[in-house]
Amino acid sequence: MASRKATAQKTVAPPLANAMAAAARVVAGVAAGRSLSTELDRAVQEEGASRASLLDLTHGTLRRYGRVQAMSRTLSKRGGTDPVVEALLWCAFYAMDSGRFAAHTIVDQAVRACAIAGQHPAKGFVNGVLRTLLRDRAAIERRISSDLEARWQHPRWWIEAVQRSHPEAWQRVLQEGNTHPPMCLRVNERRISTAEYLRRLQAENIAARPLLDRALLLGTPVPISRLPGFAQGEVSVQDAGAQRAATYLGLAAGQRVLDACAAPGGKSAHMLELEDIELTALDADATRCQLIERNLARLGLTARLRAADCTRLDTWWDSTPFERILADVPCSSSGVVRRHPDIKWLRRATDLEAFAARQSAILDALWRVLAPGGKLLYVTCSVFREENDAVVESFVARTPQISRLPLPHGAASALLPGPENDGFYFALLAKPT
């Protein structure tokens, strides 16, 4: 009996090997064109994988677009490698870069992960590639140093688009895209003051500091479950850059306001927290509308919710114009890529033209429902000019009697990603009375 028990214990795979095998399948799915959230959900539901154990390996690997691929090309001339095996190597390269594991442990666990992932024949190949990396690390780093994608860890077209859009700051924008994002809170002052909530955080030994009127930047991200009063609607998680949108609109009590692309509802909730407005919140995806409903319910807020495409006015508009409109339009999400690293793998250069066409159609439609004297705030979470100034300048040029207003406090239209916020773009447009 003791002998059988010992044998069984020896066959139990170590935790890192399990995580690497599951992460490799997730990363391979993203490389094949599927979203990270979809693949993570699949791994948790179908394989019983721990989401927490996967997040670091998958996000860290996917942030290294170009680098892990260049290392693989340099280390292996073998063609036709199974996608899961290839992704396993990428995960192992990231694990070595992270410095959290001993190198020999990573090699051992990656080889074990081959068996867990059903890739037994690849064990020798994976072992050989990783041991070559350990032996020749300095030479391999020199070989890939001239590879643009390996150096900046973004697709080449993306690098070039950032260079065009921000010629003075392109390196900083790309570097920030490879970092861990900050965690910022927005206090619901209908339930608790920002100062009082900051004291509650301090009592829980959660370091934070004020940024904007109701924004608190955490020193280190924490699970939502650690946030006091979250379930009671005292606070929400929202990037400091995103919190600017509601404040730029110049809201006042009683205004009729439209949030045209509202899911998951953070900006809608912020507007309702600021003023007693009559808010209509739209989203084309009915499932995502449920997210808006849940977020507002937690915060004790109400709005008129509709699952509708904002450009199809006949399906939702009651012919009464809005005094304020928030157009947080669909975009490449290039300004929040560090939160969603699969974006680097899924986006293509041709997507920018398609996004710009959709953004222009939204502006044309929403201008028709804006009241005389009203204001429309155009927002993207993109750093690409093609979706920002180019779209707004074209819209202004073809729209009679439109005014582009300065943002409050002299803020720049382009908010670049940094240690305190993600990347956003804002343009405030006014219709004459």
Residue pLDDT, tens place only, 17-35: 999 999 999 999 999 999 9
Mean pLDDT of 251-277: 98
Residue 143 has pLDDT above 90, yes or no: yes
Rounded percentage of the chain residues whose pLDDT exceeds 90? 92
Catalytic (active site) residue 184: no
Residue 79 binned pLDDT confidence (cut-offs 50, 70, 90) = low
Residue 113 has pLDDT above 70, yes or no: yes
Among 73-77, 186-190, 424-428, which is the least confidently predicted range?
A: 73-77
Residue 378, pLDDT > 80, answer yes
- On the question of pLDDT at 387 being above 50, the answer is yes
Please choose, from the candidates 116, 98, 111, 4, the residue with its C-alpha nearest in 3D space to the C-alpha of residue 57: 98
Which tokens go with 428?
Answer: 């405030």
| Predicted pLDDT of residue 4 | 42
Per-domain boundaries in the chain: 13-152, 183-238, 240-430
Which pLDDT score is estimated for 27?
98
- CATH number for the domain running over 240-430: 3.40.50.150
Catalytic residue of the set 184, 289, 331, 381? 381
Q: Is the pLDDT of residue 225 over 60?
A: yes
Listed residue (259, 301, 297, 264) closest to 281, CA to CA: 259
Selecting from 3.40.50.720, 3.10.20.30, 3.30.70.1170, 3.40.50.300, what CATH number does the domain 183-238 have?
3.30.70.1170
What pLDDT shows up at residue 1?
Answer: 43
Amino acid 343: pLDDT:
97
Q: pLDDT tens for residues 308-323?
A: 999 999 999 999 999 9
pLDDT for the residue 8: 38
**How far is it, in rounded angstroms, from Cα 56 to Cα 62?**
10
> 415, 413, 316: which is closest to 366 by C-alpha?
316
Q: List the one residue out of 376, 387, 382 whose CA is nearest residue 428.
A: 376
Average pLDDT over residues 342-354: 97
284/51 Cα distance (integer angstroms): 29
Where is pLDDT greater, at 77 or 60?
A: 60
Confidence of residue 9 (pLDDT cuts 50, 70, 90): very low
Mean per-residue pLDDT, 337-344:
97
Please, which residues bridge with residue 7 across strands?
none
**Using 50, 70 and 90 to split pLDDT, how confident is the model at 80?**
low
Determine the topology of domain 13-152 in CATH.
N-utilizing Substance Protein B Homolog; Chain A (1.10.940)
Please report, for residues 195, 374, 409, the alpha-carbon distance to residue 273 in angstroms, rounded to integers and kept in the order given: 16, 21, 21
At residue 106, the pLDDT reads: 96
